[in-house]
Amino acid sequence: MSTQAHSNPSRQLADAEEIRRLIAEYAFHLDMNHPAQLVDLFVEDCEVVYGPGFGAQGKTAYAKTLEGIGTFFQATSHHVSNVVIDFVSENEAHVRTILYAWHRYTRERPDGHLWGQYHDIIVRESTQWKFKRRELRTTGVKDFHVKTMLPIGRS
């Protein structure tokens, strides 16, 4: 966790914990099929990039990408770890996390698996931290419904 852009170390620790909570809430609401609560975790002019040609600009467009998620997936389980937070300022942080996501589909097909990373820009809006930009980069997939993903960019 970078301390250079934050003048108050104890506030930075509290902010980091709030950011970790935001990331956990995203996974929880995605797995519980709570699209309205999921959208509320983002700022109005957010950008979401799940893959080439798959994402959204703004909360309204993002909400549209979530339509039907409950009928497409019978269940999902998103596991996020290795949270790295770099504060750019007291109101902005760049965050990288590692992801494993399991998907059980409603139609007859094998469960889908995804391994990857989230690369986020998270900003403080009033008193809450929210996603400004969320990008998914993948390490690998197995039986996953999206065939073209953004690679992690490994050297």
- Is residue 8 pLDDT above 90, yes or no? no
pLDDT at 90: 95
**Dihedral (C-alpha) 118, 37, 35, 151: value to the nearest 10 degrees?**
0
Q: Specify the pTM.
A: 0.93
pLDDT at 80: 98
pLDDT at 24: 98
The mean of the pLDDT values for the chain is 94
pLDDT at 2: 56
Confidence of residue 74 (pLDDT cuts 50, 70, 90): very high
* pLDDT tens-place string over residues 117-131: 999 999 999 999 999
Gap between the Cα atoms of 3 and 21, Å rounded: 19
> CATH code for 9-142?
3.10.450.50
Give the pLDDT mean for 73-101: 97
- Is residue 136 pLDDT above 90, yes or no? yes
Among 35, 120, 115, 39, smallest CA distance to 73 is for 35
Give the pLDDT mean for 17-34: 97
Confidence of residue 59 (pLDDT cuts 50, 70, 90): very high
pLDDT at 4: 62
pLDDT at 148: 87
Is the distance from CB of 137 to CB of 150 less than 8 angstroms?
Answer: yes
Tokens of 127: 């008193």
For the chain, the structural domain boundaries read: 9-142
Give the pLDDT mean for 54-61: 95
Gap between the Cα atoms of 140 and 62, Å rounded: 24
